[in-house]
Amino acid sequence: MWLTTLQHGFFSTLILLSISSANAQEIIEVGKFSAAGEGKTPPTGWEPLTFPKISKHTHYELVKDSGILVVKAISEAAASGLTHNIAIDLNKTPILHWRWKADDVIQKSDVTRKEGDDYAARIYITFAYEPDKVSFGKKFKYNAGKLLFGSELPIGAINYIWESKTPIDTIVDNAYTDFVKMIVVESGTEKAGQWVKESRNVYEDYKKAFGEEPSMISGVAIMTDTDNTGETATAYYGDIYFSSE
């Protein structure tokens, strides 16, 4: 009798452990800013993202906000970002999580025009080139682009943006190239000055935006830019991570 009870308890424990293991959530930390050091040095693994024709850059600094370290961005008619090269398989960890705060929106921001391609806050996701997942037409355009911009050109990118007036969940081509899709996550001033937690299924967003299966993520960047509108913006970025659910 005692042996039967012991066996029953043993196998019940094994079943519970199996269920727990199957339900364990996988997490990939991309920007653990809260564990970084205060100051102007970029967080570990992150580096400046600049553009050849833009000489004035956004200022980034690790500061404490409500006792938690975050990245503060100040842009005055400027543009640059912070980027982190990282490989992420969206089949395993498709959900992107982050939090951000914008003091205000860009008044002249307009996702449809080059002159309005400025945002108080954006999360920039780039994707690696995997030929077997790319249509012939896109492959041709990509190879032509490599001749101009070099071999490290990503096959595509998604920008999650805080816009001024475009409805939330709008997906449109970037004003400069259809290799980049803009997805409006926040819009307007209703939440300005507040920390906002966000989560997006990047796998599903990519399929909606590009109409094909996503390749591996190759990098994640944050950017506050005002070079096109000449305005001023201040934004804050909290920790960024991907999860399996």
Per-residue pLDDT for the chain (245 aa), expressed as one digit of tens each? 433 443 445 444 444 444 444 457 899 999 999 999 999 998 889 999 998 889 999 999 999 999 999 999 999 999 999 999 999 999 999 999 999 999 999 999 999 999 999 999 999 999 997 666 656 555 545 554 443 344 455 678 999 999 999 999 999 999 988 889 999 999 999 999 999 999 999 999 999 999 989 999 999 999 999 999 999 999 999 999 999 98
Radius of gyration of the chain (CA): 21
Which of 160, 64, 82, 171 shows the shortest CA–CA distance to 121?
A: 160
With H, G, I as helix, E, B as strand and everything else as coil, classify residue 205: helix
Q: Any idea where the domains of the chain sit in the sequence?
A: 26-243
Scan for tokens 């912070």, then name that residue: 82
Quick one: CATH architecture of 26-243? Sandwich (2.60)
Q: How far apart are CA 91 and CA 163, in angstroms?
A: 29
Residue 3 backbone phi and psi in degrees, to 5:
-65, -40
